[in-house]
Amino acid sequence: MTAVDSLIKARWIVPVEPHGVVFEHYAVATVGGRIVDLLPAAEADARYTAAETIELLEHALIPGLVNAHTHAAMTLLRGVADDLPLMEWLQAHIWPLEARWVGESFVRDGTELAIAEMLRGGTTCFNDMYFFPEVTAQTALHAGIRAVVGMIVVDFPTAWAADADQYLTKGLALRDELRHQTLVRTAFAPHAPYSVSDPPLARVRTLAQELDQSIHMHLHETETEIQQGHDSHGMRPLQRLRQLDLLGPNLVAVHMTHLLAEEIEELAKTGVHVVHCPESNLKLASGFCPVAALLQAGVNVALGTDGAASNNDLDLFGEMRTAALLAKAIARDAGSLPAATALRMATLNGAKALGLDDEIGSLAVGKSADLVAVDLGTLETLPLYDPVSDIVYAAGRHQVSDVWVAGRRLLARRELMTLDAAEIRAKAQGWRQRLAGPPSHPGVH
């Protein structure tokens, strides 16, 4: 018999790849944090001797969820300004609070709270955009979660940098610091077309091409943004990025709620990835991403939560369900976004958008053991006819029991293994007391 580190047996295994397949009474064998076999549980018992064997009798085992767009530290702003349109929400509430409070401790404590929430909801990788990205990176490494940390760029000064040049200089220094890390990587993160001018965007393009880095950017989030593009540049933001030669497979375009048919065709042609944040878009009344049309055109569409200040959670189970239901209504076609596709958007499509699909996003031999166990034996998901349907349309994040990243168990029977829940709770309450006071000066989202 062959020795392995762990043998995880589950009632169902949903590998995501091949698409739509569900294995029943299967097991995953891991060695050194990687999947070395995926086979029937009975065969696994005969073939392997494991240092640890885990039985998940009523669970589905799925790939770790990939949250393809976050502002993790903004969990500390959850609920401070609800039921407002985007620009009023930003300019009158969020930016003033950020200008007053954002610093290393804010980012560390907010990111730790976000990571705890994401792990408890089955997210094993997140793509972040925020200030003090070096703090986000170290917090992610401490927790053991996988992350892509944005090297944020805006035109104006904040607590982290004085101008676009300094943002890029500090971001590149962080990239060098993380070059030997396997769990945390970097991406360029110019905030949005309305907050970054042409010269910094051109420099981001050149650096991204030279360093083979992705570019993570808000784009076509609202009609106001598009009108601003017309007013300032005489063209829609997507057209401006085309002229700057920024459209390509390294661009991760977030939101994309206002698109013309010819723009969808161009996204497919150039290989741009789209991150759909349905609940944030709905809450801010930003618009509707044409997901069915994008998928039909061949565009890779991933899922993100956005920040907890505009969602107000980091729950990819909720995003899967909302994305599937919303796409059906927009397309007027009940089959436009099936459950298996919604799950793929939250896993493999997200991994592909981040350039990590060789490593994560599906359960396959050779890939990292980023795994999530979902208890489908609860009353809320019974009777069970189709585990994928249950995961997308019926299950909630509270049914996530166990989470592994690179074979390391970060959540065991709903208990966080690398983070102190009581300490995180106390810090969050402390920030609530500080943030309750009136804000002062404008900042940036």
> pLDDT above 70 covers what percent of the chain?
98
What would the mean pLDDT of 379-397 be, rounded to a whole number?
A: 98
Closest listed residue to residue 64, CA positions, set 31, 39, 35: 35
Query: For 406-440, what is each residue's pLDDT tens digit?
Result: 999 999 999 999 999 999 999 999 999 998 855 44
* Mean pLDDT computed over every residue of the chain: 96
Residues 54, 411: contact at Cβ < 8 Å?
Answer: no
The single-letter code of the amino acid at 66 is V
Q: Looking at domain 2-63+362-414, which CATH architecture does it have?
A: Roll (2.30)
Whether residue 274 is predicted with pLDDT greater than 90 in this model: the reply is yes
> pLDDT above 90 covers what percent of the chain?
93
What would the mean pLDDT of 28-57 be, rounded to a whole number?
A: 97
Whether residue 338 is predicted with pLDDT greater than 60 in this model: the reply is yes
Q: How far apart are CA 305 and CA 32, in angstroms?
A: 31
Residues 96, 80: contact at Cβ < 8 Å?
Answer: no
What would the mean pLDDT of 25-52 be, rounded to a whole number?
A: 98
Q: How many CB atoms lie within 10 A of CB 440?
A: 11
Report pLDDT for 443. Answer: 43
Query: For 174-205, what is each residue's pLDDT tens digit?
Result: 999 999 999 999 999 999 999 999 999 999 99
Q: How far apart are CA 120 and CA 359, in angstroms?
A: 22
Estimate the share of the chain in helix, then strand, then coil, as percent rounded to the nearest 5.
Answer: 40, 25, 35
Report pLDDT for 85. Answer: 84
pTM for this model (two decimals): 0.96
Report pLDDT for 84. Answer: 87
Whether residue 326 is predicted with pLDDT greater than 90 in this model: the reply is yes
Residues whose CB is less than 8 angstroms from the CB of residue 76 and which lie 6 or more positions away in sequence, other chains included = 101, 106, 109, 110, 113, 428, 431, 435
Whether residue 445 is predicted with pLDDT greater than 70 in this model: the reply is no
